[in-house]
Amino acid sequence: MRSFILTAVAALAGYSACFFVPASTTAFAEAPAQTAPAAPTTRPAIKVYFSPNGGCTEAIVAELDAATKSVDVQAYSFTSAPIAEAVVNAKKRGLKVRVILDKSQRTERYSSLTFLRNAEVLAWVDAKHAIAHNKIMIIDGKTLPTGSFNFTKSAEKSNAENLLVIRDNPELIVEYQKNFEEHLAHSDEPATAPAASTN
């Protein structure tokens, strides 16, 4: 009897082994890991910022730092040191940089006009109008920051302002570029700042 039981157990063990599938076969292979979708590589066609403290200055500086060909600026009040420095840095990188400012910038205490001219940035003054109130930049002929936002510290920190950064809208850029050239044509010549004395 004992031998019969042992024989039966051995037979069942052998029978079960016939259905054993090694873990290395495809029947138990792990499913491939799911990969995260790729991050978008394009920036939005329109991005809006609001002040106070809404990142308008940082957005403008980022666009200027990314410029590779040209920067055209029209500004009513231009006293923001970070934006002025970014404009000058664009000039230092060899970009074509042109700035048109309102006539008030000749006498405003903290105007960037002298700073820009000292850095050999071509800066004109538009004195034809009661106020040259445009606040725009045309960057590389394809990016347009514009809105109520003046290029000033108070516009960033204290005022309620808005800034639109518009990209890749060729028809709109053409209109703004045409208007820029019209204002440039009647603006004062960009006299350079006097050279520092060597004595």
| Residue 41 binned pLDDT confidence (cut-offs 50, 70, 90) | low
Record the pTM: 0.74
Averaged confidence pLDDT in the chain: 82
19 pLDDT higher than 50: no
Q: Which of 72, 91, 102, 135 is catalytic?
A: 135
| Distance between CA atoms of residues 86 and 82, nearest Å | 6
142 pLDDT higher than 80: yes
Q: What are the tens digits of pLDDT across the range 125-134? A: 999 999 999 9
The pairing of beta strand 143-147 with beta strand 70-75: unpaired
Write out the two tokens for 88.
């000058």
Q: Decide which of 157 and 38 is more confident.
A: 157
Please say if 47 is a catalytic residue. Answer: no
Per-residue model confidence (pLDDT) at position 22: 47
**Domains with residue ranges and CATH for the chain:** 58-185 (3.30.870.10)
Q: Which of 133, 153, 183, 188 is catalytic?
A: 133
Mean pLDDT, residues 95-119 taken together: 91
Could you tell me what percent of the chain has a pLDDT over 70?
A: 74
- Block residue for tokens 């920051």: 145
Please say if 140 is a catalytic residue. Answer: yes
Report yes or no: 53 and 149 within 8 Å, Cβ to Cβ. no
Per-residue model confidence (pLDDT) at position 36: 52
3-class secondary structure, 126: strand
Please say if 135 is a catalytic residue. Answer: yes
Per-residue model confidence (pLDDT) at position 44: 83
Tell me which of 8-17, 27-36, 63-72, 155-164 is least confident.
Answer: 8-17
Q: Which of 47, 103, 140, 183 is catalytic?
A: 140
Q: Decide which of 183 and 24 is more confident.
A: 183
Per-residue model confidence (pLDDT) at position 15: 43
Write out the two tokens for 181.
């050239």
